């Protein structure tokens, strides 16, 4: 959050205001989408859609929601989050590797 300090020049303030408006729009939009996704997910389960379809769709919706959460609400799309991304994807990769091993080598 950039502070509204009065020491900044006027054009800078205006720029920031515009940025904030843009940010707000995105947040509202993603929030609406996330609620929509949740409704879709519940709806599919309530209407007993075929499980071959429902499981992958639910997973995809979940992943997209996590991405929204991280990138829009937790600001990972903004500058200065490269290291955070490296660490998170690194962790995901190691976890995925572990799961792949267990399913392919041990339990297969």
Partner 1 sequence: MSTAVAQKRGLGAVIWDYLTTVDHKKIAHLYLVSGGLFFLIGGLEAMIIRIQLMKPDNDFISAGLYNEMITMHGTTMIFLAAMPLIFAIMNAVVPLQIGARDVAFPFLNSLGFWLFLFGGLMLNVSWFTGGAPDAGWTNYAPLSTTSPGHGVDYYVMGLQISGAGTLIGGINFLVTIVNMRAPGMTYMRMPLFTWSVFVTSTLILFAFPALTVGLFLMMFDRMFGSAFFDVGLGGNAIIWEHLFWIFGHPEVYILILPLFGAFSDIFSTFSKKRLFGYSAMVFATVLIGFLGFMVWAHHMFTVGMGPIANSIFAVATMAIAVPTGIKIFNWLFTMWGGQIRMTAAMLWSIAFIPSFTIGGMTGVMLAAAAADFQYHDTYFVVGHFHYVIVGGVAFGLFASLHYWWPKMFGKVLNEKLGKLAFWPFFIGFHLTFFIQHFLGLMGMPRRYWVFLEGQGLATGNLISTIGAFFMAIGTIIFLINVVYTSVKEKKVSGDPWEHGRTLEWSIPSPPPHYNFVQTPLVRGLDPLWVEKMDGKEGMTPAEPLGDIHMPNASILPFTISLGTFIAGFGFIYQVDDPIWLVAVFAGMGLTLGSMLTRSLKDDLGHHIHKEELEEDIKKGVGK
By CB under 8 A, name the binding residues for partner 1.
Answer: 83, 87, 90-91, 93-94, 97-98, 101-102, 104-107
**Between residues 15 and 89, which has the closer beta carbon with respect to partner 1?**
89
Q: From CA 77, how far away is CA 67, in angstroms rounded?
A: 10
Return d(Cα 14, Cα 80) in angstroms, integer: 23
Minimum distance from CB of 79 to partner 1 (Å)? 15
Cβ 43 to partner 1 shortest distance, Å? 36
Using the minimum distance from each CB to partner 1, give the nearer residue, 44 or 76.
Answer: 76
Radius of gyration for the alpha carbons in the chain, expressed in angstroms and rounded: 20
* Cα four-point dihedral sign 58, 63, 66, 67: negative
With respect to partner 1, which residue has the nearer C-beta, 49 or 92? 92
Beta-carbon contacts of residue 44 (< 8 Å; ≥ 6 apart): 54, 57, 58
CB of 42 to partner 1, least distance (A): 32
Q: Least distance (Å) from partner 1 to the CB of residue 87?
A: 7
């Amino acid at each position: 959050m950039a502070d509204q300090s009065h020491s900044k020049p006027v054009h800078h303030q205006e720029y920031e205001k515009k940025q904030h408006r843009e940010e707000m729009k995105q947040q509202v939009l993603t929030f609406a989408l996330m609620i929509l996704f949740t409704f879709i997910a519940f709806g599919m389960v309530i209407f007993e859609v075929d499980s071959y379809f429902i499981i992958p769709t639910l997973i995809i919706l979940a992943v997209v929601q996590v991405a929204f959460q991280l990138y829009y609400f937790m600001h990972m799309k903004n500058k200065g989050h490269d290291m955070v991304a490296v660490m998170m994807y690194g962790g995901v990769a190691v976890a995925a590797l572990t799961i792949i091993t267990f399913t392919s080598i041990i339990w297969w």
